[in-house]
A and B are shown apart, each in its own frame.
Chain A
Amino acid sequence: MTTTVAPGAPGKGALGTKSQQKRRNRYVIAPLILIGVNVVLFLVFFVWPGALGLLYSFTDYRGVGKLNFIGLANFQKLFADGTFYAALGRTFVYTVLSVPLVYVCSLGVAALLVSKAVRGRTAAKIVIFLPWLISPIVVGVIWKWLFGQDFGFVNFIISTLGGSPVPWSSNGNLALTVVIFASAWGGTAFNMLLFIAALKNIPEALLEAAELDGANAWQRFLNVTLPGIAPTSFMVILLSTIHAMKEFAMIQALTNGGPGTENTLIVQYIYKTGFEQSKVGYASAASMVLMVVLLAIALIQLRFNRKKG
């Protein structure tokens, strides 16, 4: 916040006339009108459900009837629940593997797309950007089709080359691999735009100076480019991490948490317990744990930014 119009500081003395009072009101009422609708939406669709979720997590509410407080019983049960740990653990594995892949893909593509040596950049940019248009559900469909175990294109190629078909959907780790590929494919486009904007902001003189000093392309990238785009890198990593932690739709279409429940991620776990089994209280307790995890991630990011700033 650099350029903000400061309304006259209150209590300037005897000159605080009527017209000044009026102007001060203008500066308070006008923005209130402008933000009004969003304030109401914020209260109704964030504060209210947030508070309700916290409340539910201490009850054995099942979607109907009265709220029956049971203290910390949900959390005690949750921390002893193997399926909860499995879901949370699988979510961490997924996040730790998919975020670096998305990061490397989007930065690599962006670096190529800003390099003047590459021909046909506009067309390439459009091709790589296309997956952004596709919904997580359809991304799931596309990759399920590509990696079908019996009729998929990838297994067809593998067997044509003399290999034996790979069990993409009946092996848990392979199924997760496909999910990770799909998430990188779908997630590259937007992050690539962020990186392109950041890369264009790096002063060319800086790179040229480094070149004159004898730095090779890789050294220039490591010592000039990478520090220059650090804020964007942090943002991409934070956003991708949060995105991965709440991955839901794409997995629903691609594997539905399968094989079995091996790749059930945390949001799917919450959805299953909360809606399909209508254990609302219990699911809310799990939600609160997820929220704390997301908050912790955000705070770590904030810490990093502070250190730099």
Chain B
Amino acid sequence: MATAANLPPVVAAEAAPGAEKVESIRGKRGNREGRAKLSVPLTVLMWLIAAVYALPLLWFLLSSFKPGSELFSYPLSMLPREWTFQGFVDAWERVDFAQYFLNTATVAIVTTLLTVFFSACTGYALAKYNNKGTRLFFVCILATTMLPTEVILNPTFSVIRDLGLYNSLAGIIVPSVLTATGVFMFRQFFLTVPDDLLHSARIDGASELAIFFRIMLPLSRPILFTLAIFSFQWRWNDYIWPLIVLNDPKWYTLQLALRSIVGAENIDWPVLLGASVISILPLVLVFFVFQKYVLNADVSAGLKD
């Protein structure tokens, strides 16, 4: 697989320190002047792009604070003329949102815990034991990225039904535990852990599983957090699994509920906007707390789910 992590590390930077020094004195001066000249237009460009990216979200957020009558009255104004929380209140009360919220949270949290744990186990085994079995399973995991659920909707439904998981939250949780991304992230990480650590623990008489749980798992903390956030986002925002597994509205997740509002003949926009904003909040919260595990993560090891 082509990942950035497979690229050779930054060796060239240290290649010729002597030659570089001379260059860098000359280069730096030129660079600095060039940078100063470029700084303003590049910064302006960056922030223009950021503004373009922020606009849809901003318009959507501000609209959710407008009363229903103001949503469709021309001329539109960016800021609400009259601020109101009515849309949120309506969404929360009328659509049984508390229940959907709870369902979604249950699925996202339980699946995330299971995904992180089993991905760590599998990733470790694939990185540190090289036998026919692990090699074969590595190829199998790779194959799952080529066979997304979207391609096998009907047979997946049959399997869920035959296992008695239809119309239950377990039916969304269990199949989502295995993700190629998670396994690859951990595998990539454990490949970088030196084998000496493993050898010396073995010489000290630790059992294989003890080595994993006592030494290796604690070492992988950063990856653990990164995958946890990824997994939480995937499950919170997932649409396709709930769609095929759940039938009874009492088990609906937020995404299904939102889809039923937006799919209606006459869309109730105030409720839809309020409900959508509420559905985003938990993820925004998680993101701002654990930001560094996402933004600084070397995500190149994994794949997008």
Q: Which residues of A contact B (CB under 8 A)?
A: 1-7, 26-28, 30-35, 37-39, 41-42, 44-46, 48-53, 56, 63, 108-109, 112-113, 115-121, 124-138, 140-146, 150-151, 153, 156, 160, 185, 188, 190, 193-194, 197-198, 201, 203-206, 208-209, 211-212, 228-229, 231-232, 234-235, 239, 242-243, 246, 248-249, 252-253, 256, 267, 270-271, 274-275, 280, 283-284, 287, 290-291, 294-295, 298, 305
Contacts and interface: CB of A to CB of B under 8 A. Distances in A.
Contact of B10 (A6, A108, A203): A203
Given A193-B299, A205-B15, A231-B2, 11 more contacts: A4-B129, A50-B152, A51-B155, A113-B46, A119-B43, A130-B284, A141-B272, A142-B276, A248-B239, A287-B152, A294-B146
15 contacts: A34-B122, A34-B209, A42-B137, A49-B158, A50-B147, A120-B43, A134-B237, A140-B262, A142-B276, A153-B59, A160-B75, A205-B15, A239-B303, A243-B304, A249-B259
Contact of A212 (B10, B23, B133): B23
B280 A194 contact: no
| Interface of chain B, main secondary structure | helix
A4 B7 CA distance: 19
Can you list the 6 inter-chain pairs with the closest CB atoms, starting with the nearest?
A: A135-B237, A30-B208, A4-B130, A52-B155, A231-B2, A49-B155
A126 B10 CA distance: 27
Contacts, number: 340
Contacts of B23: 208-209, 212
Contacts of B209: 30, 33-34
B19 to A, nearest CB: 9
B84 interface: no
Interface in B1-56: 1-4, 6-7, 9-13, 15, 20, 23-24, 26-27, 30-31, 35, 38-39, 42-43, 45-47, 49-50, 53-56
B150 interface: yes
Contacts of B167: none
Given A4-B129, A248-B239, A41 B154 contact: no
Contacts of A201: 4, 7, 9-10
